[in-house]
Amino acid sequence: MNLLHNGLVAQLPPADQVLLLRQCAPVELRAGDILSAPGAASGHVYFLLGGASVALVVRNGSGSGLAVGLAGQEGAVGLQFALGLGAGHFTLLVQSSGKAFRADGAVLQRLSDRRLGMVRVFAAYLWVFSQEVAELAAAAQAQDIQARLARWIVLSQARTQQTELHLTHAHLADMLGVRRAGVTLAANNLKGMGLLDYRRGCIQILNLAGLATAAQAQPSTPGALPEQGGGDE
């Protein structure tokens, strides 16, 4: 494991990289792990490595929710703790198993307080990530399930650099905030278009460019709203 393989860390000045490495420990992330929950006042920062991805999920009182972001080797999750902020409304849910380096948020805050260059790199990453959050939130209102599913699969591929994704329909329904039956129908349509194949818990991307095009599609019925609600019908 090499911390410098993380895209965010790779942007730091060499001196900051050395200091950061002293505060980090390697960890294994498993799909389904919750790294942070809403309301937590403190926590850890995870710098992700190849194969690992972590979703930022917002849930309501009934437990259903919506994924509004996905981080991978290009960045980190939990950076708010390094800036002295709490967890907010986000649940950090590991989508794809992999490796990461973990640092205590309070320790990293003390370090970043002394390293202006580090804060600038973190802030730039958070700004770019916020644009993705905005796009996913807008898609949840403007697109149908099929386009949103294609978008999430394309994003998952970009974050893990893998064309075989271990994602169940139940997990995808949870990420999109829709019924599992809706994900199954949408996946069948994408499969029929020759864009992907799937079997139990595994999606094989066959045509990434085609999926990217499908991810930009608008609802066929003007004014139609996307299906909402979690769980099975």
228 located within any domain: no
Contacts 24+ apart (CB under 8 A), 57-65: 57/90, 57/91, 57/92, 57/93, 57/174, 57/175, 58/89, 58/90, 58/91, 59/91, 62/230, 63/230, 64/174, 64/177, 64/229, 64/230, 64/231, 65/91, 65/174, 65/177, 65/230
Q: Can you tell me the mean pLDDT for 11-25?
A: 95
CATH code of residue 49: 2.60.120.10
Q: Out of 138, 153, 185, pick the residue that ends a domain.
A: 138
pLDDT in tens, 45-99: 999 998 999 999 998 877 788 999 999 999 999 999 999 898 888 999 999 999 9
pLDDT in tens, 38-53: 988 899 999 999 899 9
27 forms beta bridges with 100
- Are 110 and 163 contained in the same domain? no
- Are 20 and 123 contained in the same domain? yes
151 located within any domain: yes
- Are 152 and 134 contained in the same domain? no
- Are 20 and 124 contained in the same domain? yes
List the 202-205 sheet strands across, edge first: 164-165, 202-205, 196-199
Q: What tokens does 85 get? A: 């902020």
| pLDDT at res. 47 | 98
- Are 171 and 131 contained in the same domain? no
200 located within any domain: yes
24 located within any domain: yes
| pLDDT at res. 211 | 97
- Are 73 and 108 contained in the same domain? yes
11 located within any domain: yes
Q: Out of 115, 138, 161, pick the residue that ends a domain.
A: 138
CATH code of residue 177: 1.10.10.10
pLDDT in tens, 109-135: 999 999 999 999 999 999 999 999 999
Q: Out of 138, 159, 177, pick the residue that ends a domain.
A: 138
Q: Which domain holds residue 125?
A: 3-138
What total number of domains does the chain contain? 2
pLDDT in tens, 188-220: 999 999 999 999 889 999 999 999 999 998 765
**Do 128 and 176 contact (CB within 8 A), yes or no?**
no
| pLDDT at res. 229 | 52
Q: How many CB atoms lie within 10 A of CB 136?
A: 21
- Are 162 and 127 contained in the same domain? no
171 located within any domain: yes
Label residues 139-153 b or e (16+ Cβ within 10 Å = b): bbeebbbbbbbbbbb
CA-to-CA dists, residue 24 to 44, 47, 56, 144, angstroms: 10, 9, 22, 41
227 located within any domain: no
- Are 107 and 169 contained in the same domain? no
222 located within any domain: no
- Are 7 and 33 contained in the same domain? yes
- Are 115 and 17 contained in the same domain? yes
- Are 166 and 190 contained in the same domain? yes
- Are 50 and 96 contained in the same domain? yes
Q: Can you tell me the mean pLDDT for 2-19?
A: 95
At 155, is the pLDDT very low, low, confident or very high (cuts 50, 70, 90)?
Answer: very high
